[in-house]
A and B are shown apart, each in its own frame.
Chain A
């Protein structure tokens, strides 16, 4: 209920339009990865999906950030069913890949922001963190859908609490997947380029 309310509110504020640039939408669990500038990002991607897909899609978020404070904990656990992962003290015991692969195996798609953190005021995309590569290597044939979010950094920039009702959009691209002999650097550069390419459309 609250989730639907938030989705409705975000759609209203951002006048959000979802565009599918590519013809195909994967029917198996996949990873949506996007540029990250605003708290609204995950909700916007979420809101852009149809209800059936939305029910089976979970955002991936940093545990340290989303465990701070009761409201954040509530939103992460109860509303968005976020998969919380460790950013800093990663050990063999709390390896985030286990949780992510587990969620995919359970039939959930994931929303990831490979830049790692929200970027402040800047135009181009940060280098991608390696997590998405390791996940793609671990889950064979995993489809990765690039998503470009437009204007969200202006609607609700980092450090602000009051969104301004400008128009935002989410462009979904053609899914990519890890090539057989692709190196980490090659793959991450290609994934990053896939998001940048959607910007031009």
Chain B
């Protein structure tokens, strides 16, 4: 178990406080409006809150087991997201062996590289080596229908669900000036900002949302939700500056960047869902949909946050 400094304990306490608050509000709303027009929305809201407790508990346990626990957790998250992604984007018979390589070799190897702290290969393994390997393996299988499309789908799934997601636990292997042994707080910071941005976009969107940003992509993404969510998450991130290597202004700018990228991730992954004619990627997490629905924003924010830290701190 890693050393828990006072700041980490405050962050955990903050998350716990937010969960308690959310549950209290959920119970209050159900008591007050549970039979009205909003009954369905409130049921979904309370299911989401229950799932949040479970997700926070799993995440906390993984963090507390140290680096290995976090790597294993995010490897499982990648696996579940990738399976939802590939299930949704049809591949053909000729891709079967390629997919076996992707699931059983490429994905675990990417996370092993993290465990091994081999940054050089970690950064290029999927964008270069897996990128080249996938079409080679599929071409050897001999099926040419939709070849480019099938290859692109698998490559895309790997990039988003594995490569991008793996940059979240990669925060643990960064070496920052005057911040040794405290990287767990960076991972907490990223996940809290990304997820609170999602939550606040949902809250503001449900309460005040009128004007859709991209009605063809996602009717539930509104300007009101976007502005409220991004500003709110920037505020929460800024208020956590004391736990990070950033000063207040840096914390604000980075939180804003994370929230904007998170929104972009949600938008892009919605476009894919819309194209395939589904509402959610799966049914894994009660009230939320699938794993991919929960981490779409993390996918886009994690690598950029990682690079900002790596090159500027």
**A positions within 8 Å CB-CB of B:** 15, 17, 120-121, 151, 153-154, 157, 160, 162, 164-167
Assess whether A151 is in contact with B96, with CB atoms less than 8 Å apart: no
Binds A, one of B45-53, B64-72, B85-93, B301-309: B85-93
Assuming the contacts A17-B283, A154-B91, asked whether A166 and B96 have C-beta atoms less than 8 A apart, the reply is no
Interface size on B, residues (CB 8 A): 18
In the complex with contacts A17-B283, A151-B87, A165-B79 CB distance below 8 A: yes
Q: Bound state CA distance, A68 and B100, in angstroms?
A: 27
CA distance A15 to B81 in the complex (A): 12
Residues of B at the A interface (CB closer than 8 Å) are 79, 83-84, 86-87, 90-93, 96-97, 99-100, 103-104, 282-284
Q: Which of the residues B91, B92, B93, B103 comes within 8 Å of A165, measured between beta carbons?
A: B103
Contacts of B87 in A (CB 8 A): 151, 154, 166-167
Given contacts A15-B282, A162-B104, 12 further A-B contacts (CB under 8 A): A15-B284, A121-B93, A153-B93, A154-B87, A154-B96, A157-B96, A160-B96, A162-B100, A164-B96, A164-B99, A165-B103, A167-B87
Q: Report the separation of the CA atoms of residues A174 and B84 in the bound assembly, to the nearest whole angstrom.
A: 28
11 pairs, CB–CB < 8 Å, chain A vs chain B: A15-B83, A15-B284, A154-B96, A157-B93, A160-B96, A162-B100, A162-B104, A166-B83, A167-B83, A167-B84, A167-B282
In the complex the two chains form, what is the Cα distance from A165 to B80 in whole Å?
9
Among residues of A, the one whose C-beta sits closest to the C-beta of B145 is: A121
Residues in B whose Cβ lies below 8 Å from that of A162: 100, 104
Task: Kindly state the separation between the CA atoms of A87 and B97 in the bound complex, as whole angstroms.
Answer: 31
Q: Looking at the complex, which one of A17, A120, A121, A164 makes contact with B103 (CB distance below 8 Å)?
A: A164
Report A-chain residues with C-beta under 8 Å of the C-beta of B92.
121
The residues of A that contact B283 with a CB separation of less than 8 Å are 17
Contacts of B84 in A (CB 8 A): 167
Q: Bound complex: CA of A157 vs CA of B282, how far in Å? A: 22
Closest to A162 in B: B100
Q: A120 contacts which chain B residues (CB < 8 A)?
A: 93
Q: How far is the CA of A165 from the CA of B282 in the complex (A)?
A: 14
A120 to B92, CA, bound (A): 11
Q: Which residues of A contact B104 (CB under 8 A)?
A: 162
Give the residue name and chain of the A residue nearest to B80 (CB). A15
Nearest B residue (CB) for A156:
B96
